[in-house]
């Protein structure tokens, strides 16, 4: 009953705010969702509203910086699947996540691979490693401020070959969708970003 109430309220909030919802959740017991672009604090609340509207709570887990998990807000976020992460000490988060997903029959893992609201020259590799190791499909959730559309796009299977997989991701996400387009991070991993800089120096 409570999930239904949250779903209705979240749907009303999005509609009243002028947002359109597109796509639908994969009909699968387990999968990984990545969310992008992430250039504003509003992204979190809008994706949270989308999750509530689609009644994703209960089997959805997501990571966020530990500093927001304080007081009653922290308890509420944990009840919605939030997992606090100290970015300065992530330890073996990827390995623990893979193990947790192997033990559960139903689980949706939601990750924001940019890892920050500010521009960086790479995305965090965790989502890719988890998708590769678990062999679970990757659903591409998006937020498009240009047209005020939020939802889920295609679901893809990661091959483990980043050179083959990255074009699928890059072809979907668009820089101008971001609330702050200049802060939309470059879609590649850290090692390839370093390689690109080396080539620039060599040439």
Total structural domains within the chain: 1
H helices within the chain, ranges in order? 2-16, 41-53, 71-79, 93-103, 126-134, 162-170, 190-202
- Give the pLDDT of residue 90: 57
Q: How many CB atoms are located within 10 Å of the residue 157 CB?
A: 12
Whether residue 60 is contained in a domain is answered as yes
Tens-binned pLDDT, residue by residue, of the chain (203 aa):
778 898 999 999 999 999 999 999 999 999 999 999 999 999 989 998 999 999 887 777 777 677 777 888 778 777 777 777 666 655 577 777 787 778 778 888 888 999 899 999 999 998 999 999 999 999 999 999 999 999 999 999 999 999 999 999 999 999 999 999 999 999 999 876 444 443 443 43
Identify whether 203 is part of a domain: no
Instruction: Say if residues 103 and 30 touch (Cβ distance below 8 Å).
Output: no
Q: Is residue 48 part of a domain?
A: yes
DSSP conformational letter for 122: S
Range of the domain at 32: 2-197
Q: What is the C-alpha separation between 143 and 112, in angstroms, rounded?
A: 12
Global pTM?
A: 0.82
Residue 61: the pLDDT is 75
């Amino acid at each position: 009953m409570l999930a239904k109430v949250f779903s209705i309220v979240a749907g009303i909030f999005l509609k009243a705010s002028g947002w359109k919802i597109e796509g639908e959740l994969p009909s699968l017991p387990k999968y990984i969702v990545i969310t992008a672009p992430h250039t504003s604090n509003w992204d979190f609340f809008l994706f949270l509203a989308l999750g509530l509207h689609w009644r994703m709570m209960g089997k959805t887990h997501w990571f966020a910086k530990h500093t927001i998990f304080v007081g009653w807000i922290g308890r509420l976020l944990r009840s919605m699947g939030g997992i606090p992460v100290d970015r300065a000490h992530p330890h073996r988060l990827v390995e623990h996540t893979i193990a947790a997903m192997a033990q559960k029959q139903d689980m949706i893992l939601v990750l924001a691979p940019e890892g920050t609201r500010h521009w960086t020259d790479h995305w965090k590799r965790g989502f890719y490693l988890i998708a590769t190791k678990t062999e679970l499909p990757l659903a591409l959730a998006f937020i498009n401020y240009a047209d005020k559309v939020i939802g889920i796009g295609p679901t893809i299977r990661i091959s483990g070959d980043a050179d083959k997989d990255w074009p699928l991701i890059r072809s979907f996400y668009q820089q101008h969708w971001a609330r702050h387009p200049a802060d939309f991070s470059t879609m590649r991993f850290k090692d390839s970003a370093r390689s690109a800089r080396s080539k620039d120096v060599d040439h």
